[in-house]
Amino acid sequence: MKKGRTSGADGQGGAKSERFRVLVVDDSELFAQAIARELRSRRIEADLAYTAGRALELCRATRYDAILLDHRLPDDDGIRIIPHVRSLQPKGALIVMTAYGQISSAIQAIRLGAEDYVLKETSIKPIIDRIREVERRRELRDSERGWDEHRKGGLTGKSPAMVAVREQIEKVAAQPDTTVLFTGETGVGKEVASRYLHAKSASPASPFLSVDCVALPATLVESLLFGHEKGSFTGAHQAKKGVFEEAENGTILLDEVGDMDLALQGKLLRVLESRRFQRVGSVQEYPVRARVIAATNRDLAQMAGEGRFRFDLYQRLAVFPIHIPSLRERAEDILLTAIHFLEFFTTKMRLPFEPLPTEVEEKLLSYDYPGNVRELKNIIERAVILAGSGRIELRHLPERMIGPRPAFLADGASPPSRGVDFIPGVDTMETLEEKLIHQALERTGGAKTEAARLLGLSRFQLLRRMQKYGMTTSGGEEDEE
């Protein structure tokens, strides 16, 4: 039976909550309360215990996502009770704190079941950073549970848009004869989505074959798709099966289908309509026993209207269209996706995992990502290599993300208008940004989505900036979850 989550500073009763919950165990009430205040300011629940006995009592009654455990407690040794805490909280991240920092104690704590070991310093920031990282990891596991690394990277996210994409994929996966068309910009993860659909089908162990419709000339694509008989063309020294035969009971992805030759489009349409095909140079027909998925970054409807793509083929491919939004359209997924890739590459390269500093997070959130998820993946991979065994810093990001001061702020030039007036008399970007946010909110009567549009931001980016400047994010027309 799942243990409950209780609210309140000391875990005393109250309504259940599904927010991230931390138990802070420390004999210093002032230190523990300082941590709790900082966590609660970040909408993280925090319970307090000042003794080992109280800590174990709370662990029996409440499920925690993380436990901060002091090394020295008045009634017991924090290291000694680790096995008891771990048995009561098998899924909670256990982090031991100490003011002493002996290496032997750190090794012992980890051997007994602790995940991490931090020194108590004047600043509590390192401790808060560790808890925030645990929180993000839990969000990642919750939203992507059950996916392997290759299938989940491009579809990581909790935004409504990505939740809808996954729901559509899971529904159509049960219909193997339905053709699916994935659309979206380059790098959004159309092939990843195709593989996810295949993995959710009734035959996930069957072949998944991808054909790049751009890379090969029409004659070779036809042979690649349908196979050929011996002697059917120069160089055809023996008969060969095509993708439609090799992918029996599996999935065929026609990638960049918008670039397919018009002559081949007609042949593909006949195959999709009849569910039968012929090898090149043969009159014998074979049944189609595979699902067909198409993917493109082009507007096929517009191309069809201009005569550059067969309208009847477009209609046949778009039986079940799924549009994958760009990364900038779902900014709330940027950090979640970045952390996924950070975990992936640090594990792959056998490097220590370090949480992203706030200034790096802000740069990641403020960038537009013309290359979408693929570009973010490359950015993180490069940063991990440059950082090595240390933490990623601003200098590890590409110059295009941390480049010089924008030209419109230099030499007194006026900035381009995005719907709000330039405020003269400011000397820093922060001051300008705060004033612009205030003005946008005044103009929209507090409507945050509209204010974000005026500022050229997503609503999520606006809320983060409001929090940064101590502006309330509650109230207004759209604040219900």
| Tens-place pLDDT, residues 150-170 | 334 457 788 889 989 999 999
Do both 114 and 178 map to the same domain?
Answer: no
Residue 69 and residue 207 in one domain: no
Closest CA to 318 of 298, 338, 348: 298
CATH number at residue 348: 1.10.8.60
* Number of helices and strands in the chain (H, E): 20, 12
State pLDDT tens for residues 252-303.
999 999 988 888 899 999 999 999 999 988 889 999 999 999 999 999 999 9
**CATH code, 430:** 1.10.10.60
220 and 293 both lie in a single domain: yes
End-of-domain residue from the set 285, 307, 323? 323
Q: What is the pTM of this model?
A: 0.56
Instruction: Please check whether residues 80 and 190 belong to one and the same domain.
Output: no
Is residue 179 one of the residues assigned to a domain?
Answer: yes
pLDDT at 420: 46
Same domain, 381 and 417: no
- Domain annotation covers residue 11: no
Query: Does a structural domain hold residue 9?
Result: no
- Please report whether residue 225 resides in a domain: yes
User: Does residue 117 fall inside a structural domain?
Assistant: yes
State whether 371 and 263 are in the same domain.
no
User: What are the tens digits of pLDDT across the range 338-379?
Assistant: 988 898 888 888 888 888 998 999 999 989 898 999 999 999
Residue 2 maps to a domain:
no
Tally the domains of the chain: 4
Choosing from 296, 323, 350, the residue where a domain stops is 323
Q: Which long-range contacts (CB under 8 A, 24 or more apart) does 2-10 make?
A: 2/63, 3/61, 3/62, 3/63, 4/61, 4/62, 4/63, 5/45, 5/62, 5/63, 6/47, 6/61, 6/62, 7/45, 8/47, 9/36, 9/46, 9/47, 9/48, 10/47, 10/48, 10/49
Same domain, yes or no: 234 and 285: yes
Same domain, 264 and 250: yes
Establish if 16 belongs to a structural domain. no
Sorting pLDDT into bands at 50, 70 and 90, what band is 443?
Answer: confident
Q: Say yes or no: 196 and 214 in one domain.
A: yes
Indicate whether 161 and 247 sit together in one domain: yes
Domain encompassing residue 263: 149-323
